[in-house]
Structure 1
Amino acid sequence: MTSLPTRTRTRLRKRAAGERGGRAAVAAAGAAAGATAGATAVAVALAGALLSGCGIKPTSAVEAGAPATVSVPVGPETAFVYFLSPEGRLMPAARRSTLPMPASEVLYRLLRGPTDEDRAAGLHTELPPVDTVAGASWGVETIDPATMRVRLYFPVGPLSWPARRQLVCTVAHAARPGQDTEVVLTGPDGDLDAERCRL
């Protein structure tokens, strides 16, 4: 058998020792990683147990979207009349009854003006109050399937634009909710041109 030179045998021994050291380091790292993973698993399990004990179920993250909105259920016994905000914008105010209200009744609720609750919310009207006019009469008639006439006890020519919008939107939504409706305002001084509600 041929023997290797002394210098070659020395290099081989150093290489083998290096390989054994590398394997030992890898094994130690694996053991450490396993210990860390085990500790993490224990921590997660412990957190879950604590949450369950408090009545809170662990859950994944939920992405937030737009702000939540609250919808108020409205039945056929609820109608809306339109008053004006301090800035002059149309604002609906609910009026409820035990039975569905015809458009003429909703108009009367508008002409009676804001309630104390409406006024506390800053609402007002630019229409003449019905209770202050002797012998006042009003009504809602159908001219054709898409046009309504509102008969009033006061001249309609001098009405402000916000006052006309109060009448038009209240009657349009009461008579044909959700549909495109024209409304003609009629007073002792004649008719105004048909208008649509534009909120």
Structure 2
Amino acid sequence: MSRVRRAVTVTVTAAALTVPLLLATGCGIATTGVVESGRAGTVKLATAPDPGLLYFIAPDGALVPLPVSDRAQRPDIGFTIGMLLEGPSEVAREAGLTTEIPVPDVNSPDAKVKGLARGPVKVGGDDKTIRVVLPLPVEPLSGPARRQLACTTLQAVSVRPAPEILLIGSDGKERTAVCEIRPEG
């Protein structure tokens, strides 16, 4: 073997051994312990343009958003809140989702058509307070029911920073509501 060939072989061999050695040492980067980084990231799923979301209750008590299927035809917030008042769809119920909002009886003599709850819902307000006038009393509404209404309302109006939600019931009473996805405690 010639001197040049031997020198090249030695150089290549040395380089081949040096690269794994550098990789193994990490090039002087010090190791660290586990670094807490907060909550996991979230991803928005691709859906139809602005479908609106209805919030229902999962078995663990957390609120779960479901897209409104026909919001594109009726994009107003009263329609969206009215759909929430009708309760979860059959598919959502089969998935274990429930509501704490008393669902109007569409089979009552006063209900001429399905969608009774959609008509009387009125929403108004300013940048600081959104008033939601409901066709049911608000005094007996549970905390989860008020959370459902607040989250659905805030999603429908898309106002930032989030204003206060004031629920006004058919009983003339008023209750504030806060959007919290997870139950307190």
TM-score range, shorter chain: 0.5 to 0.7
Residues 27, 141 of structure 1: alpha-carbon distance in 2 compared, 3 angstrom cutoff: closer
Structure 2 regions of 5+ residues with no counterpart?
17-36
Tell me if structure 2 keeps the 8 A contact 1:76–1:99: no
Tell me if structure 2 keeps the 8 A contact 1:103–1:174: yes
TM norm structure 1 = 0.60
| Count of residue pairs brought into register by the alignment | 149
Q: Which moved more, 1:133-142 or 1:121-130?
A: 133-142
**1:133-152 aligned within 5 A:** 134=110, 138-152=120-134
Which residue does 2:67 correspond to in 1?
Answer: 94
Q: Distance in 2 between matches of 1:186 and 1:35?
A: 81
Which residue does 2:54 correspond to in 1?
Answer: 81
Displacement, 1:123? 0.8
Tell me if structure 1 keeps the 8 A contact 2:81–2:152: yes
Percent identity of the aligned residues?
Answer: 32
Is structure 2 residue 10 aligned with structure 1 residue 33?
Answer: yes
Displacement, 1:32? 4.9
Residues 179, 102 of structure 1: alpha-carbon distance in 2 compared, 3 angstrom cutoff: farther
Residues 151, 27 of structure 1: alpha-carbon distance in 2 compared, 3 angstrom cutoff: closer
Displacement, 1:96? 2.7
Amino acid at match of 1:33: V
Which residue does 2:175 correspond to in 1?
Answer: 193
**1:1-199 aligned within 5 A:** 30=7, 32-33=9-10, 71-97=44-70, 98-99=72-73, 101-130=75-104, 131=106, 134=110, 138-199=120-181
Q: Distance in 2 between matches of 1:88 and 1:30?
A: 72
Structure 1 regions of 5+ residues with no counterpart?
1-23, 41-65
Determine which structure has greater relative contact order: mean sequence separation of CA pairs < 8 Å that are 6+ residues apart, divided by chain length.
2
Amino acid at match of 1:89: A
Residues 106, 83 of structure 1: alpha-carbon distance in 2 compared, 3 angstrom cutoff: same
Q: Distance in 2 between matches of 1:76 and 1:28?
A: 68
RMSD of Structure 2 on Structure 1 (CA): 3.4
